[in-house]
Every structure is written in structure tokens, then in C-alpha cells.
Structure 1
Amino acid sequence: MFDHRNGFEVVHLIGIGGIGMSALAHFLLDRGAHVTGSDIKGSGIIDRLIRRGAKISIGHDPSHIGRAKVVVYSTATLSDNVEMYAALHGGCVLLHRSELLELISHDSMLVGITGAHGKTTTSCLIAHLWANLDPSYILGGECPNFPAHGHCGTGPFFVAEIDESDGSFANTGPSHLVINSLDIDHIEFWINKERLIESYHALARRTQGFVLLYLEEGEKAPFSHSNLFTYGFHPEADFVVQSRAHALTLTLRGKELGTFHTPLFGRHNIQNAAAALSLHFLVMGRAADPDALSSFRGVLRRMEQIGSSHVFTDYAHHPKEIAPAAATFLDRFPDAVFVFEPHRASRLNVLLDDFIVILKKVPRVVVTTPYLMRGEAFPRAALETLCQKTGAVYIPKEELADYLRRIGDFPVLFLGAGDAKNLAYEYDQTIRVDDRPSLS
């Protein structure tokens, strides 16, 4: 039987440059493991792991596994990957990244954060709130408050995103659970919302401690749990949040817990902060300090300013993420231009009507080449319908920077979970702006 305490001397991660896999690599390096990995191309994330001592190869080859006894893959790893095949037939322990997470968190109190929206920011906020306890964490984004987005701590808590996109959260058994949203996003996996809700319910049943669920306005919790608490803007939630300028007020069943300062903007980030503060109260039995979040510096790719110009990028790629991101940006830059990179043809096709409703409310939208998964057909009809019904203009990626330069000197927000940040960097390299706007 595999020994989860002593079996990680040498670990190989396929696709080590991915945000989730690289977080696991940082954790294993902290733990003293010899980490190897491979990916199809280099990146800043890979460079940082190499500087820490990881041995990483570009490209995939069975020889890259070396003397590793444990090989880790993700849902993004293709079934015909030669390294996965070699591990499977070479006597290695082959683990999905969610299985590795369950093993390495076995002796800690796993705090799992899931849901279609806000997982990364909420996870980072919780890890930040508990920084003095030195929690372990696996985060789905890079946060300037931490030296890396994966860490093996000495404290009792293990803060981690547990992924609903592929159902792999079924491999985990959290001590405490935060469900930030019940929205269905990855339709290609879940097929319908009923399956998703039942999986959340099953996850809640496996949770030993508190279950904290975001309650949509006008909705009711779809399942029960002995330690279920709800939070949100809904007046019937257990934890009710009210937003103020650079602050939020939180009440628990009518009793005010305090007003908390936050540097984050937007209703969606107030929701994320409320989740972290509510969980803190439940687990610690007391409210956080009013200034506990004041030093939080956000998460990269979440309303991130690029370079020295008036260019920003945000990970929003679902209609319910685009709406608050666009509203927040327009509050500060009313003349903004929005570049939307659709992420996956399946999402665009299924949620097309929702995208139309949201983008019709956003002025000056440029739709660019979609980010597609292998085997997906180009969604030409959906793109044409989207542009026709919203007034957006379609500009291919290779023409995007020139087009944006021609239309004038406007603040630009690039939206998407694929190449949007790279597109923002490419555009930023072509312009020079002396007087840049700022979100601060």
C-alpha cells in the first residue's frame, strides 16, 4: 500500500506549468521532495520552480519520468500522453492531482473551496487571514502576499481549491467546505445542474465540520447539513453582507460582527471577502480584526494592471463573472474598451443567450479568437450571433493590437481564462502611455 507520509521522495508532474500542478510542486519542494516535471512550453511559473530546484523538461518523453515512483497528472493531461502511459505500465503510482491533494492533506484540516466563481480569491483571502498560523495551501492563482501559490506549512490547516469543473472534488474529504456558487459552468462534464447539485450535496455529506454556502438572492439552499451556514447579500442568509466603499459589514442572524476594510473592488470581491470572514468566524469562534484584509494585495489575473500602461486583464470567462468585472471597471473607467476571448466552444454555445444578455449591457466590446480545447470545432455561428445581437466587433487575435491602437487611447480590459493575459501583454508592448489610470 502506498505510504502517503514517506512515499514522496521523487515525484514527477505531467503538465507542471499549469497553475494547479505548479502549486503542488511548490508544496512538495517545501516538503523536501525531489520534483521533476514536464510541459509543452516554458513559462515564468516553470522558471521559478527551476530556480527552487525542480528538474523540468520541455516536451513529453517517457525518459523524463526518471526514477520517480509517483507520477501526477491532471484532467488536462491527454489520454495518449507518453509519460502517463509509461508510468501506468512501469510500476509507478499514478495519481490524479486531486488524489495527491487528498494524500498530502491527510494529516491536516482540509479547508476546501469550490464553486464556479471566486475560488482562487476566496482561497487566497482565507490563507491570508490565517497567515500567522502558517497554513499549508494550494492556490489556483499567484498572490503577491505569498512567495509561491503552494506551501507546506507547520499549522493545522490546509487551504485548497477543490475543483468542481471535472468532478475531481469527489476525491477529497474536507474538514470545512466553502461553496462559492451553485452555477453550472463546465457543461461538457456535468450535462445538467441537477447532477452538479447532487455532487455538491455528496461533498457536503463527507465534510466533517462547517459547510458555508453562498445563497443567491431569491433562492434557498438546495440541500441540508447539520453544520450548514449560508452567506451572501440575501437578507435570509445566515451571514448577511452589506457593501460599503472599501469596506463591508457582516451580520450573523441579525447580530453585527463588524465592519471590515478591504482593498478589493466590486460586488464579486465583496462576496469573496464575506466568505473568508464568515468561515473565519465559524472556525475560530470570533470575528476577524477589522483591518485583517487591509494588506491583501489581490490575485494576479484578477483585475491585474499590465505593465506601465492603461491595460488590465481579468480571468472572468463566464457570464456571471463578466458582469461584475465589467461593472467594476466601468465605474472607474467609463470610456473603457473590453476585449472578450471566449473560453471553450462548448461554454460559448451552451451559454450563448447569457453572454448576449451580459455583453449587450457593456459598451465597446471586441470579441477575439476563442480559446479552444483540442478537438473543438471553431464556433463560427455562435460568434456571428454574439456580435450581431450585442453590437460587438470580431477581431482575430493576430489583428487585435493594431485594431486597438487605431481606435484610440482608451483603458482596455482583456477578459478570458485562456490567452487573454498574453494578449494584454502583447498590446501593452505596442503602446506608451505617460498618464496611466489606476485602480487604487
Structure 2
Amino acid sequence: MLYEAKKVHFVGIGGIGISALAKLLSRRGAEVTGSDLMTSSVTRELEIEGKRVFIGHSAENVPTDCDLIIYSPAVPENNPERVVARERGVSEMSYPEALGELSREFRTIAVAGTNGKSTTTAMLGLILEEAGFDPTVVVGTKVPSFKHGNTRIGKGGSWLVVEACEYREHFLNLHPEFVVITNIEEDHLDYYRDLDHIREAFQKFVDQVPEIGRVIFNADDITCHSLIYKNCVSFGEHNGEYRAINRISGLGQQTFELWLDNNNLGNIVLQVPGNFNVMNAMAAAVTALVIGAPFGAVQAGLEKFFGVWRRFERVGSFRGADVFSDYGHHPTAIRGTLEAAREFFPGRRIILCFQPHQHERTKSLFNEFVEALAGADVLVLPEIFEVAGRTEDTDVSSRDLVEAIKEKFPVKEVFFASDLSDAEQMLNTIVQENDVLIVQGAGDVDELARGIVL
């Protein structure tokens, strides 16, 4: 169904993942249109590439000769474009279903995990490109090294590297030969009951890997280690067949040695900070080696990796401070980002403007957020971002986080902002020359980061 369609309409085309699929199908010859609730950098890029994008949802947006509707999981069944498509007998697929169909056409590597999926996917794509595998890559961020940003379109290669989302078990639509698991933690608790429920979903996922395939997993992660694998390869700093040893971090660069059992394979140089990026690089490197890439390509691909959109991305300066935008919205991601900032910018004041993402996540991981956020020198917390398409209780506020942090860490400078405009005004009075300002969250807080910089 996916490849037979000549005219495909995407509902929710502004999503970072679904827009990658739109670009891919367009390059394969399909006529692509789409709609989204609001204009964004993603919709503007699609329009620059010549695709027709409607802002707002209406039955009139759907072309009369449309063959297929692909919709974001956030788009409800009563969306007017989905309704008119059904009335006309047009086939529908969700984005995860479409990605699953795509994965049937390739030898697919699916990168999963609570944190690090996008970066690992991008790193692996660059390594395989360096090794001559000519992969197609679909990733939930923009990669400067990829011509099309959130996708790399191979010219006939048999490999697909795809970011696999665990939300609502979406990754079970995929048909991977290889699975990479970066880590497994509590998240998406508006759907999952608890960590055991999440573990069950990951177990189903790895059970889908065929006998000829492999699961590459983080052996330092307790939940990853608890899964039952048919065929697996492990990595880690402290555990695993492959290990990172002798990590050295300095200004703007870090290095480590990659060992397989008792053999030093060689040195790896990274241009991105943080211990979490060493783990991401290990996941990508080990996967590439398992499928036959030479170690030289691993080294070259990783050394050329300068980061991705909204993953500790430097976006400019503000009042003499370096400004970084980051997508992280889980306590583990916050901790990792702050640790990376302190490693790369020793002695400088770290200001974090963090917009919590989703009330249920904030409520379920409240204590973990309090501890993680306290790692910054100064905190500005805008109100929680409400996620489109999800109904949830709103009985928790960023103000509650501020009060809890102040109670536990009385000397900490912590401020509540009612919205992004309020946050910007606060930053105008707080930020000083030589500070490091991190603007973090999965909502619309990135607009603040890019709006204030020079």
C-alpha cells in the first residue's frame, strides 16, 4: 500500500518523524501534500522543498485524487481530513504503521530506548555512510550532515536505520533485523503503568528480532540486562563485551578507547560532550561493527559527528552568554546535559530554563525532576507544556517543582515563569556575560532559545 500510492496526504506533517517519511516518499516519486495545526520550521522547510502544506485541518485540504492518508498518532479519528478520507474510501495508515511497512523493504536497524535514540540513530547513519553502506535513515531530529535534515535517502542501499519510539508500543509495528537498546527507564506513564509494563513492551520488541538478527544492548542498564535475548551483543562502561575505557574530556572534545573483551580496538574521538554521548557512540559503533563495518569507518564517522538539532545544540549568544537548545525532557537527560555542560565549560555559571513536557510525566517523576533540576546554578521553569492529542490531569504545575526545589535546596536560585514571554523577561535580568544558558524541553521552548540569540 505504501509504495503503490501515487498521491499521499499527511495529517500532522509538521512532526519531526512523519515529515521525514514525507520527504522519503516524495523522493520515491509520490506527490505529497500535508497539513498541520501551526507553522513551524519543519513545515517551512517542506514548503521550500516544494510540498504543499496547509495550516489548520479541513476536509478541503485532502486532494480529491488522494491514494493514501498517513496521520500522526496525535491526530484523532474525528479529524475532518481523516473523516473525509474514510467517506471517499481512501486508505489510512498511522505514521508508526507506515514506518513498519517501510521497514519490510530493507534490512532494518531499529534504535530504541528512553534516552539517546536520535543521537545514536544519527551517529550510526554517519558511520554506515562512511563505510559505504549507503543507508536510508529516518530520525526524530535534524542532522546537519544529512542533506534532508531528518532523513538520509539512500540511492539503492539495502539498509534502513530508524529511530524506534516506544510510546504506546509504536515500535511493535517495525520489522527489524537488528535492534539497539540504549537504556530503559520510566517514561510515558500516561500509557504505561510502571517500569515493569515498559519492560514487557521492550521484551515483545526484542522477541520480534529473527534468528539471523541481533540485539545490541546497554549492559550497564539493569532493565536492559533483565530482558531475555535470543542473540545479543552487549556494551557498556562497566559491563559488556564491548567497553569504553580511559575516557578523557577536555574543552570541546572527548576521547575514549573501545575494547572488545581484552582487545583494544582503538581510540574514538567525539566532538560532542557528556558521558551519555560516549554511551550513544558505543551503541552506534558496536552496531556498525556487528553488521560488518570496518573500525576505521567507525572512527571517521564519529569524529565527523558534530551533534544534531536540539541535542545540546549551540544556537548563539545572549547578553554575552553561550545559549544551547536541548530536547531532553526526562530527569536522566537533564542530569546528563548539565554534567556535559560542566565538563565542557568548567567554572562557568550554568543557567537552565526548563519547560516540563506533559503533566503525567511531571507528576510521576516529580522527585526525580527535583533532584535533576537542582544540578543547575540558576533555574527558570516555565509552566508545563500541554501535549496535543493527549488528555491528562493538570493537577501539577511547574510552580510545584519550584516550591519543592526551594524547600530541599534553600540556597538555590529558582524562578517560576507563567509562560515563555515571562521566562524571557526573567532571563533578561538574570543572564550575565560568560554564563552558559541551556534552554531545555520537548515543547515549544526552543522558540525562546532561537528568539533571544544574536
Normalised by the length of structure 2, the TM-score is 0.89
Matched, 1:420 2:445: yes
**1:395 aligned to which of 403, 411, 417:** 417
Matched, 1:138 2:138: yes
Q: CA deviation at 1:124?
A: 0.4
Query: Does the residue aligned with 1:105 lie in a helix, a strand or coil?
Result: helix
CA distance in 1, matches of 2:444, 2:395: 16
CA distance in 1, matches of 2:201, 2:222: 22
- Residue aligning to 1:348: 362
Q: CA deviation at 1:308?
A: 4.4
**1:328 aligned to which of 315, 335, 340:** 340
- Output aligned runs, 1:143-292, within 5 Å: 143-148=143-148, 149-153=150-154, 154-208=156-210, 209-216=213-220, 221-234=225-238, 236-242=239-245, 243-245=247-249, 246-284=254-292, 286-289=294-297, 290-292=299-301
Matched, 1:121 2:119: yes
- Residue aligning to 1:295: 304
- Residue aligning to 2:380: 366
The code of the aligned residue for 2:445 comes to A
Q: Which shifted more, 410-419 or 118-127? A: 410-419
- Residue aligning to 2:34: 37
Flag the 1:197–1:274 CA change in 2: closer, same or farther, 3 A. Answer: same
Matched, 1:406 2:429: yes
The code of the aligned residue for 1:370 comes to I
Flag the 1:346–1:220 CA change in 2: closer, same or farther, 3 A. Answer: closer
CA distance in 1, matches of 2:216, 2:114: 15
Matched, 1:26 2:16: no
Q: CA deviation at 1:218?
A: 6.4
Query: Does the residue aligned with 1:130 lie in a helix, a strand or coil?
Result: helix
Query: Does the residue aligned with 1:187 lie in a helix, a strand or coil?
Result: coil
% of aligned pairs identical? 26
CA distance in 2, matches of 1:299, 1:344: 23
Q: CA deviation at 1:220?
A: 6.9
Q: CA RMSD in A?
A: 1.9
Flag the 1:366–1:317 CA change in 2: closer, same or farther, 3 A. Answer: same
Normalised by the length of structure 1, the TM-score is 0.92
Q: Which consecutive residues of structure 2, in runs of 5 or more, have no partner in the other structure? A: none
CA offsets, 1:72-117, max 9 Å, x none? Answer: 1122113431112222332111101111112123221111011110
- Residue aligning to 2:404: 385
The code of the aligned residue for 1:28 comes to L
Q: CA deviation at 1:285?
A: 6.1
Query: Does the residue aligned with 1:258 lie in a helix, a strand or coil?
Result: strand
Flag the 1:32–1:219 CA change in 2: closer, same or farther, 3 A. Answer: closer
The code of the aligned residue for 1:240 comes to R
Does the 8 Å contact 1:349/1:382 carry over to 2?
A: no
Q: Which consecutive residues of structure 1, in runs of 5 or more, have no partner in the other structure? A: 433-440
Does the 8 Å contact 2:24/2:151 carry over to 1?
A: yes
